[in-house]
């Protein structure tokens, strides 16, 4: 044990024995009694300023006092105390702020916490507190902020908390709470933040009385079992910026009254059972930045009006039953960075204006019914890292302009009707990690330029009509783990350079016109789990 820590602990131990004759007031004595319960010598050393020879604790670390010399604040953050809630401080009548954030305290919150009637802030986040939230907290009439997130608390949200009429922040995230949200929450007219997500046992409907919380800025009930409809009274919350109720059991439609939430910036309603059409009223939310509605049961067309939300940066409408075409009004979404429409029934062409959305980094249009050719304008997207359009009805060539997407990492155009030669420009994108073109009508030789894509991890070109030899430059792809060129017309021998791709786990070359022998260099592929060379013209021994 370091000498300094040993001296600090020894000093505190001796000091505690001298308490009866010291001049320390009752608040200091109570804090030292709590300190003696710490089970960590390292954390105790951080409290060496807690000196029993002082008359009060006002000069101690983590402690502040009022002008009258009484403790008004205890603030300890990210220090592992290995102890319980400081029940010794229950008599601190002037304590306004108690912050024990990420301090590894355990046990229950004592019922007598109701005596701390001067509390304005109680922050007990990121601990291991268990038991129920004491109903007596409802007596804390001055309380403005209550943070109990990331503990092991169980039982219902006590309705008595709704007596704390000054409460502005109520955070109960990531506990083991059960039951319904108390209807009395409507009494909290000053409430700005209510978060109770991450409690899978919280169920029932969102109480309509929530509409009385006119100052609400954030409503978070994600990863709960809340069900039923979003109350139409949500439109009363004119200050609401974030509505976050995802991975829950909401049903019915999004109420059109949501249009009145004019401050809305973040709408997170994904992974629910919401149905009917996406309301056109969303287009009135001019401050909207992120809209996540994926994995619901929405039907009908994508509303043209959403194009009015020109501040949108992220829009994910995937995994629904949407139909129609991409609205022409989306050409106005110049701030859009992420646009995801996968797994719907969207039809028509991929609109050419997509190439003008210069901030796009993710474009996922797979598993729809898009037809026509790939717009050449996509090549103008200099920030694009991911482009998925697989499982559609696209035809024509891959435009050479696509090589202009210099940051592209993942490209998947599989299961379409694309044809022609692969443009050499495609293999000048050095950032490519995944190139997936399975089951199209591509033909011609694989260009040696493929060796430029040294970051490739997955290369899948199977079920096409590629011919010619496998280029020796494929041996430059040292990061390659998955190589599939099956059911093409590739001829010649397997290049010995393939043995340089030492991270390969799977090689699938079946049903081609490959001949010769298996190169001995493949012995270096220690991570290889699967190799399929069947239906070729390969001869010689397999070692």
Give the neighbor-by-neighbor strand order of the sheet with 201-205. Answer: 154-156, 176-180, 201-205, 225-228, 249-252, 273-277, 297-301, 321-323
Query: What does 369-385 look like in DSSP terms, one character per residue?
Result: EEEEPPPGGGGG-TT--
- Give the H or E element holding residue 26: helix 26-35
pLDDT of residue 22: 57
Predicted structure pTM score: 0.91
Q: 381 is written with which tokens?
A: 């997207």
Q: How far is CA 145 from CA 171, 199, 491, in A?
A: 8, 20, 71
* Long-range CB contact pairs, 524-531, < 8 A, 24+: 524/499, 524/500, 525/499, 525/501, 526/502, 527/481, 527/502, 527/503, 528/504, 529/505, 530/505, 530/506, 531/506, 531/507
pLDDT digits (tens, 9 = 90+) for 351-378: 999 999 999 999 999 999 999 999 999 9
Residue 518 has pLDDT above 70, yes or no: yes
b/e code 348-368 from CB counts within 10 Å (16+ = b): eebbebbbebeebbbbbbbbb
pLDDT digits (tens, 9 = 90+) for 316-334: 999 999 999 999 999 999 9
Grade residue 315 by pLDDT with cuts at 50, 70 and 90: very high
Pair 169, 192: CB distance under 8 Å: yes
pLDDT of residue 42: 62
Q: Backbone dihedral region of 172: left (phi > 0), alpha (psi from -120 to 50 degrees) or beta?
A: alpha
pLDDT digits (tens, 9 = 90+) for 447-506: 999 999 999 999 999 999 999 999 999 999 999 999 999 999 999 999 999 999 999 999
Using DSSP, state whether 89 is helix, strand or coil.
helix
Grade residue 3 by pLDDT with cuts at 50, 70 and 90: very low
* Average of per-residue pLDDT across 90-115: 96
Question: Distance from first CA to last CA of the chain, Å, rounded?
Answer: 60
* Average of per-residue pLDDT across 152-174: 97
Percent pLDDT > 70 in the chain is 95
- List the domains of the chain with CATH numbers: 248-338 (3.80.10.10)
Pair 9, 44: CB distance under 8 Å: yes
What's the mean pLDDT when you consider all of the chain?
94
Out of 336-350, 454-468, 528-542, which region has the weakest mean confidence (pLDDT)?
Answer: 528-542
CA angle 490, 494, 499 (to 5 degrees): 140
d(Cα 101, Cα 149) in Å, to the nearest integer? 10
Q: Backbone dihedral region of 72: left (phi > 0), alpha (psi from -120 to 50 degrees) or beta?
A: alpha
State the SS3 of 42-63: HHHHCCCCCCCCCCCCCCCCCE
Q: How far is CA 365 from CA 346, 356, 429, 524, in A?
A: 9, 17, 21, 39
Residue 41 has pLDDT above 80, yes or no: no
Q: At 55, give phi and psi (nearest 5°).
A: -80, -25
* Average of per-residue pLDDT across 213-218: 97
d(Cα 43, Cα 58) in Å, to the nearest integer? 20
Q: How far is CA 52 from CA 18, 23, 57, 77, 515, in A?
A: 8, 8, 8, 23, 88
């Amino acid at each position: 044990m370091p000498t300094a820590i040993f001296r600090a602990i020894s000093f505190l131990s001796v000091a505690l024995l001298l308490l009866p004759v010291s001049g320390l007031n009752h608040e200091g004595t109570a804090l030292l009694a709590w300190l003696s319960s710490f089970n960590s010598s390292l954390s105790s050393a951080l409290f060496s300023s807690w000196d029993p020879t002082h008359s009060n604790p006002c000069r101690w670390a983590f402690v502040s006092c009022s002008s009258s010399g009484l403790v008004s604040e205890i603030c300890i953050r990210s220090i592992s105390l290995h102890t319980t809630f400081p029940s010794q401080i229950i008599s601190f009548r002037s304590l306004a702020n108690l912050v024990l954030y990420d301090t590894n305290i355990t046990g229950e919150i004592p019922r007598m916490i109701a005596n701390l009637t001067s509390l304005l802030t109680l922050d007990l986040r990121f601990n291991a507190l268990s038991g129920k939230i004491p109903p007596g907290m409802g007596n804390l009439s001055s309380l403005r902020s209550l943070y109990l997130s990331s503990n092991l608390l169980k039982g219902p949200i006590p309705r008595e908390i709704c007596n704390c009429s000054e409460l502005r922040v109520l955070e109960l995230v990531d506990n083991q709470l059960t039951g319904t949200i108390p209807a009395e929450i409507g009494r909290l007219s000053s409430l700005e933040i209510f978060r109770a997500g991450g409690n899978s046992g919280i169920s029932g409907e969102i109480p309509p009385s929530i509409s009385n919380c006119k100052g609400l800025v954030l409503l978070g009930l994600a990863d709960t079992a809340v069900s039923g409809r979003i109350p139409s009274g949500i439109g009363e919350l004119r200050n609401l910026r974030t509505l976050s109720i995802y991975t829950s059991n909401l049903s019915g439609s999004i109420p059109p009254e949501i249009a009145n939430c004019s401050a809305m910036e973040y709408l997170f309603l994904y992974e629910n059972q919401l149905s009917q059409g996406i309301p056109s009223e969303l287009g009135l939310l001019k401050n909207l930045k992120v809209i996540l509605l994926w994995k619901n049961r929405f039907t009908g067309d994508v509303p043209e009006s959403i194009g009015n939300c020109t501040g949108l940066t992220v829009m994910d409408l995937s995994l629904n039953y949407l139909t129609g075409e991409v609205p022409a009004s989306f050409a106005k979404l110049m701030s859009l960075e992420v646009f995801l429409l996968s797994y719907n029934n969207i039809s028509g062409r991929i609109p050419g204006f997509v190439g003008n959305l210069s901030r796009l980094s993710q474009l996922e249009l797979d598993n729809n019914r898009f037809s026509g050719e790939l717009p050449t304008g996509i090549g103008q997207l200099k920030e694009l890292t991911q482009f998925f359009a697989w499982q559609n009805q696209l035809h024509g060539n891959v435009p050479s302009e696509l090589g202009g997407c210099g940051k592209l990492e993942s490209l998947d155009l599989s299961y379409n009707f694309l044809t022609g030669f692969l443009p050499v420009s495609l293999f000048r994108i050095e950032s490519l990690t995944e190139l997936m073109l399975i089951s199209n009508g591509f033909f011609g030789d694989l260009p040696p330029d493929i060796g430029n894509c040294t970051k490739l991890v997955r290369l899948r070109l199977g079920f096409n009509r590629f011919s010619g030899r496998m280029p020796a430059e494929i041996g430059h792809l040292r990061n390659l783990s998955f190589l599939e060129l099956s059911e093409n017309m590739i001829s010649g021998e397997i290049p010995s350079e393939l043995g340089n791709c030492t991270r390969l786990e799977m090689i699938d070359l079946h049903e081609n016109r490959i001949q010769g022998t298996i190169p001995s260099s493949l012995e270096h592929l220690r991570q290889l789990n699967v190799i399929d060379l069947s239906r070729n013209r390969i001869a010689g021994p397999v070692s």
